[in-house]
Amino acid sequence: MITSQLINLACTLTAQESKLLSTEVFRDIKAILDFYRQDEDNIPLEYKLKLSLAESLCELRLDGLTRNTALDSVKTTERFSDLGGFISTAEGQKISDVQMVEYIKHIKNHKKIVVSLDNFEGIRDFIEKFEQNDFSNMQEAIDMFETVVTSMYANYSNEKRNENISAIAQLDLMSDEYDMALEHIYDNYCGKNSTRSGYPQLDALMNKGFEPPRVYIFGGASGDGKSTLLANILANQIRTKAEPEQELYDIHVYVTMENLIDESLLRMYCCYKSLEVKTVIDNWEYHKDKIKPTLKKAQEDSKSIIIMAYYPATKIGVADIMTFAQEIKNKYEDVGELKTVSIDYLDLLKSGKNYDLHRLNLGQITIDMKVMAVLMHVPVLTLTQVNRGGYNEDDKPSLTMVGESIKKVEHADFVAILKHKTDEREDERETSQGKMEIFIGKNRSGPKGKSITLITDFSKFEIRPGDGVTYEHLDVPKLDLEQGKYVSGAFL
């Protein structure tokens, strides 16, 4: 319900003259008033005249009238004669720039809420049906709830993006100050908020790493190492020693619908230690007591926390993952900040909206991921299938290989295609070692059409930098099998 404080603020701002009051602010006020006007029957009678005054002033200001002309217009209208004293008080207020900034911020935040509640009738219908237990079954309730929530997320996400755009939507290069534009340039291009992948040649093509709030998709055919790459990107986070001045932990959420938690844990340990699964299992009595302290110490040293979660395929959607990630943020609110959300993988998620065509569902899932990235201000990393028949071994990868839906490409910020080749022994038997080519087909933060090559050893779930690049800053323990203990060794 609308409040008298909000109406008074709307009247006061539309009756002021300030360099901080742009057309965008008046549009925001109008959007808020329009929202409450839809529920006119519930507006108290004593508010209605002031609401009409705020609407009239706002429309006049949006028509380009100055403060004085707009006020003269409403003062000469018989309709608002009873509000003469209130109008004089509103126009006579002296508002400092500091206070004006706070008022405008309040208006913008209020608009985010009403825009998110654009489908208010749908929300009300859901609540009424839920309270009356009027659903035929629980699935009907879940479907309606997800439709309502997805709509709210999408509207809020768009408003956040519009807010960022409007902050520097116009600039007079002769007379305006450049401060805000310069600040945006630095924030957007310096890479200070990027999360490193651990592969220097990849980071160099992505503005130093994964940026919030972008969606990164790595596509590959079965067996090309998609899940292994994601596991290694996470392992790279705990291989890097934390800077002395780092106070908060970096939190990385990993959600998988492919591998159970025990398998994911084993893969993480193997790729971190550069060990084959067979080596770990054959020496299980030794390793079972090492996995926990090894990974915990790595997280302490790197000031990174990895949270793993497994869900059955097609049983959860992006909204569920967002809820889970928010719970993690709340749990570590005072000690850490969310840095990445990794999802293995896109094609196994449930869409927030149900379409008859699978490709439309996949496109909607990608949109949902973008909404999550924006709302949580975090990079979202995910995987997708490509069509193995889409290329021959000697063909160069392209975005046309992305399976099922080109909408996945359209809605993502970064799309790369993985292509793996194993080395061959002299007797032509394949080994577990090889090379992974990562072809960047779409990239909002750097060049596209570029490729990098990484070195793989899938027997250890290990992917290392290639092209002569090494982890110079890392010291990865190796197992000396003859002595039965770990020794230091470079990750080469």
Are the CB atoms for 442 and 399 separated by under 8 Å? yes
Q: If DSSP codes are grouped into helix, strand and coil, which group holds residue 81?
A: helix
Across the range 163-190, mean pLDDT stands at: 69
pLDDT of residue 167: 54
Per-residue burial over 265-292, b if 16 or more Cβ lie within 10 Å, else e, is bbbbbbbbbbbbeebbeeeeeebeebbe
CA angle 368, 265, 374 (to 5 degrees): 20
pLDDT of residue 158: 65
pLDDT of residue 428: 43
Percent of the chain with pLDDT strictly greater than 70: 83
Kindly tell me if the per-residue pLDDT of 489 is higher than 60.
Answer: no
Are the CB atoms for 365 and 349 separated by under 8 Å? yes
136 pLDDT tier (thresholds 50, 70, 90): confident
CA angle 487, 491, 492 (to 5 degrees): 125
- Please indicate whether residue 152 or residue 49 has the higher confidence score (pLDDT): 49
- Please indicate whether residue 458 or residue 190 has the higher confidence score (pLDDT): 458
Distance from C-alpha of 239 to C-alpha of 462, rounded to nearest angstrom: 13
Across the range 245-260, mean pLDDT stands at: 92
Size of the chain in residues = 492
Across the range 475-486, mean pLDDT stands at: 39
Are the CB atoms for 442 and 414 separated by under 8 Å? yes
Kindly tell me if the per-residue pLDDT of 409 is higher than 60.
Answer: yes
Across the range 31-47, mean pLDDT stands at: 86
pLDDT of residue 429: 43
Note the pLDDT tens digit of each residue in 112-135: 888 888 777 888 888 988 888 888
- Please indicate whether residue 150 or residue 288 has the higher confidence score (pLDDT): 288
pLDDT of residue 455: 92
Residues 6+ apart with CB under 8 A from 301: 238, 241, 242
Kindly tell me if the per-residue pLDDT of 491 is higher than 80.
Answer: no
Kindly tell me if the per-residue pLDDT of 381 is higher than 90.
Answer: yes
Note the pLDDT tens digit of each residue in 298-314: 999 999 999 999 999 88
pLDDT of residue 403: 54
297 pLDDT tier (thresholds 50, 70, 90): very high
pLDDT of residue 352: 66
474 pLDDT tier (thresholds 50, 70, 90): very low
pLDDT of residue 339: 95
377 pLDDT tier (thresholds 50, 70, 90): confident
402 pLDDT tier (thresholds 50, 70, 90): low
List of domains in the chain: 1-116 (no CATH), 119-189 (no CATH), 191-489 (3.40.50.300)
**Helix, strand, coil percentages, rounded to 5, for the chain:** 50, 20, 30
Kindly tell me if the per-residue pLDDT of 104 is higher than 80.
Answer: yes
Kindly tell me if the per-residue pLDDT of 37 is higher than 50.
Answer: yes
Of 217-221, 233-237, 336-340, which gets the smallest average pLDDT?
217-221
**26 φ, ψ to 5°?**
-65, -35
Average pLDDT, the chain: 82
pLDDT of residue 164: 56
